[in-house]
Amino acid sequence: MKTVPTSILLCTMSCFTGFAAFAYPSTYNVIYDRISLTVNPALSAAITSGSVTTYFNTTAPALAQIGFDLDQAMNVTSIVYHGSALPAEDYSHAGNVLLISFPAAIAVKGTRDSVTINYHGTPVTPTTSIPSGYNRAQHSSGNYIIYTLSESFTGHDWWPCKDSLVDKIDSGVDMIVTTPTGYMVGGNGVLIQTTSGSIQISTWKTRVPIATYLVNFSVANYQDYAFTINTGLTSRTALPVHNFLFPEGNTTTNQNALNVISSLIPAYVNLLNTDYPYLKEKYGTAECTNFGGALEVQTMTFVASGAYTASILAHELSHQWFGDKLTTNDWHMIWLNEGFAEYFQYVIYPQQLQSASTALAARQSLKTSVTNTSTTVVSSIANVDNIFIPSSSLNQPYEKGAMTLSMLRAWLGDTHFYTALYNYVNAPGLAYNFTSVDSLKYYMQQQVQGLGFDLNNFFQEWVNNKGRVTYAVNYDYVKNGIYLNLVQSPTVSGQGHFDMPVPIEIKGTGGLDTTVVLIDQGGTLYNSATGAAFGSVAHFNLSGTPTSMTFDPNSVVLATASSMTQISTLPLMDIQLKAMPGAGVNLLSWNVTTNLPLQSFVIEKSADGTQFSSIGQQEAIASANGQYLGSFTDPDPGRGADFYRILALEQGGGQTYSAISEVNGTAAGPGALTVLPNPATGSFSLSIPATFSDHLPLNLVIYDASGQVVKMGQIPCGTPVIPCDEWAPGIYMVLLINDRNQRAYQKMIKK
Ligand SMILES: [Zn+2]
């Protein structure tokens, strides 16, 4: 849904009484609905005749009753079950819930059955500021329209349904609307229209799972502005797009706005590498009176007169993936629908179809629209106004939700971000079903797992906590490098630390123009690209000497710099120690970034991680770029775990320990592993003894003669094939470690 704030001002605030509490949510699964309605917009808002047949599977044994949400304004005239009308005492309709008792309980769980509810009445129209429910209105030509906007929980105002976010209608809906001739009906799926005398029957069929609130229809004297487009991904080159416009709305201006759909669908499909979700049916729009926005009705967005802008159409179209294909399972987390749609409206659409300067302005506007006090989560869902009134100072599911996605993209980088989105929109169990924050988090986390990042705090803080952050930036420009220290302050105190990415653009001599992305995780700075920890001061080697920098140059994160202070004496001591198992030895390597002159390193070892003793000492020699590199081979690994640390001794007398690095392991003999062919050129395979691969997982480490790791990670058992065509010729050590910390290794030669 997209609302246009100006029109909201015209509405009056009023009370909404809330939504039906569904009585029996877990006792049946809705399979299919056939909804037959007779209406005449010219005469009244009444549904003069309604009939809804629901096919369902029981999800509990001995099901004696079934319940539907149905507003009291609807008058039930009969319930037909197995071909017979049930006696009136077998059903009750109170508190907006219709309860039906079966003549005999349905014994077996999983039984397919159906029931038909016949009814009529004039549906209520909610008086909330956010338009919702069943509406009859006059458009500017003087003709009337009837249309429904069932988000969030007003489907039951006009049809008996399960008005929930737990059960999609798996096999879709047939919506059969009988009207006088001269009308067209907008709806879900594919239209079949027949006329008999003065009566017209419009049947919309959709065969894709659909959430209750996305089932809608509209009736007006429409004209169809139709075209077909090539969606760009599959063999189907002609997706029909039907735009139902009032005769007075079928203008060149509106048509030109609608033409953006031809470019937008291929752009979204290309970006997500995922088809339009309803390729076998259609996309389209249907005009409604000026309710002040649009609603992402599945396969046919309902658009208010006056809301035909490329920007709103871009928002609504993205909902077909985010909202309709994957639907939030909780109205508190409406940002899973609206944050995405807002992101596509203000970031993706300008990025794909507009100029760079327009796109930057849109991102800046999105960033500044997030207040210093709001949350992404919606705190109250008591009525539709609480959920959807945008720019509330308390909850901003649209703006802050979009910026949460923007920050994920900055953290992951484009390749990983779009891979995560692809995995998310195509995930079995999520696609065409309901989704959750945990599900989104899972697919984002997958992309940073290998770098050691943890997104739990990111999601917790940015979804649930208030406000945004500022950073005091301390920095030092040095020859071909920069030191950065960032100190976070929240705009609302007591909200904890917001883990986040921080992009900084650096320009300088020799054409230096680069953007680095730091990850602030718990106050420790990390390199977003490598996962390496910097500590409190980050250091980057650069191709030139910096002369200027810009905090968040592209307006992609919810942070601003409160100060930028050049400090020439930032105390910096960052020691990265890595210890790893070798063939009969343990290998240590370290990389120290510091602006303090060092004297030497002491290498220390422990069997228990607490009692350390020295096993060697090395002189500290600074490399050309001011870093200190070192390595050490421990020829005597223990049968249990070995713990290592190094102590950096400063020339001035100070000293700093590294973090502890651990190696597990006892050694199995060499030769247990066979490398074929050996020597190898393009690739080689490993033959792993069964006794060794009984203890999964297997971790592979391959390093060259200098101890430099060229490949590392888990591999399957059997005879895995390792490509080596890009390795330099030379001798390599291939080492496997199983779950019992046994090692098998073999030298191989790359020709
Ligand atoms: Zn929306």
- Report pLDDT digits (tens) over 610-626: 788 999 999 999 886 66
What is the fold of 573-663?
Answer: Immunoglobulin-like (2.60.40)
Which residues fall inside 5 Å of ion ligand 1, going by CB? 1-2, 338, 341
pLDDT at residue 30 greater than cutoff 70 = yes
Ligand 1 centroid, distance to 321 Cα (angstroms): 12
pLDDT of residue 199: 97
User: CA-to-CA distance for 617 and 643, rounded, in angstroms?
Assistant: 16
Mean pLDDT of 540-566: 95
What is the fold of 469-566?
Answer: Immunoglobulin-like (2.60.40)
Ligand 1 centroid, distance to 317 Cα (angstroms): 9
Ligand 1 centroid, distance to 316 Cα (angstroms): 6
Q: Tell me which amino acid residue 74 is.
A: M
CB atoms within 10 A of CB 303: 29
CB atoms within 10 A of CB 12: 7
Closest-CA residue to 74 (of 112, 120, 109)? 120
pLDDT of residue 235: 65
Show me where the domains of the chain are located.
22-218, 469-566, 573-663, 674-750
What's this model's pTM, rounded to 2 decimal places? 0.78
Cis peptide before 390 (omega within 30 of 0): no
Ligand 1 centroid, distance to 399 Cα (angstroms): 11
Q: Which stretch of 232-236, 306-310, 514-518 has the lowest confidence by average pLDDT?
A: 232-236
Ligand 1 centroid, distance to 445 Cα (angstroms): 26
Q: Which stretch of 153-162, 454-463, 600-609 has the lowest confidence by average pLDDT?
A: 600-609
Ligand 1 centroid, distance to 249 Cα (angstroms): 22
Ligand 1 centroid, distance to 365 Cα (angstroms): 18
Ligand 1 centroid, distance to 389 Cα (angstroms): 11
pLDDT > 70: percent of the chain? 93
User: CA-to-CA distance for 224 and 191, rounded, in angstroms?
Assistant: 12
pLDDT of residue 689: 74
- Banded model confidence at residue 14, pLDDT cuts 50, 70, 90: very low
* Right CATH for 674-750 from 2.60.40.3080, 3.30.565.10, 3.20.20.100, 3.30.70.1520: 2.60.40.3080
Which 3 state secondary structure label does DSSP give 187?
coil
Ligand 1 centroid, distance to 623 Cα (angstroms): 55
Ligand 1 centroid, distance to 327 Cα (angstroms): 12
pLDDT of residue 11: 27
Level-2 CATH architecture, domain 22-218: Sandwich (2.60)
pLDDT at residue 9 greater than cutoff 50 = no
Ligand 1 centroid, distance to 388 Cα (angstroms): 9
Mean pLDDT of 654-670: 69
Ligand 1 centroid, distance to 2 Cα (angstroms): 4
CB atoms within 10 A of CB 158: 31
Token readout for 227 is 């075209």
Ligand 1 centroid, distance to 295 Cα (angstroms): 7
Ligand 1 centroid, distance to 248 Cα (angstroms): 26
pLDDT of residue 571: 62
pLDDT of residue 391: 53
Ligand 1 centroid, distance to 686 Cα (angstroms): 53
Compute the chain's Rg from CA coordinates.
32
Specify the higher pLDDT residue, 705 or 380.
Answer: 380
Fold match, 469-566 / 573-663: yes
- Banded model confidence at residue 460, pLDDT cuts 50, 70, 90: very high
Cα→Cα distances 576→503, 532, 614, 656, Å? 23, 8, 18, 12
Ligand 1 centroid, distance to 54 Cα (angstroms): 29
Ligand 1 centroid, distance to 296 Cα (angstroms): 7
408, containing H or E segment: helix 399-412
Q: Is the backbone of residue 630 left (phi > 0), alpha (psi -120 to 50) or beta?
A: beta
Residues 6+ away with beta carbon under 8 Å from 690: none
- Banded model confidence at residue 278, pLDDT cuts 50, 70, 90: very high
Ligand 1 centroid, distance to 440 Cα (angstroms): 18
Ligand 1 centroid, distance to 228 Cα (angstroms): 24
Ligand 1 centroid, distance to 338 Cα (angstroms): 5
User: CA-to-CA distance for 431 and 476, rounded, in angstroms?
Assistant: 48
Ligand 1 centroid, distance to 169 Cα (angstroms): 21
Residues 6+ away with beta carbon under 8 Å from 531: 448, 450, 451, 452, 453
Ligand 1 centroid, distance to 158 Cα (angstroms): 22
Ligand 1 centroid, distance to 322 Cα (angstroms): 9
Token readout for 710 is 């060229």
pLDDT at residue 119 greater than cutoff 80 = yes
Ligand 1 centroid, distance to 166 Cα (angstroms): 20
Task: Give the mean pLDDT of the chain.
Answer: 90
Give the N- to C-terminal CA distance of the chain in Å, as an integer. Answer: 61
Residues 6+ away with beta carbon under 8 Å from 20: 69, 70, 71, 95, 96, 97, 153, 156, 163
Which 3 state secondary structure label does DSSP give 77?
strand
pLDDT of residue 575: 85
User: CA-to-CA distance for 313 and 286, rounded, in angstroms?
Assistant: 12
User: CA-to-CA distance for 565 and 569, rounded, in angstroms?
Assistant: 12
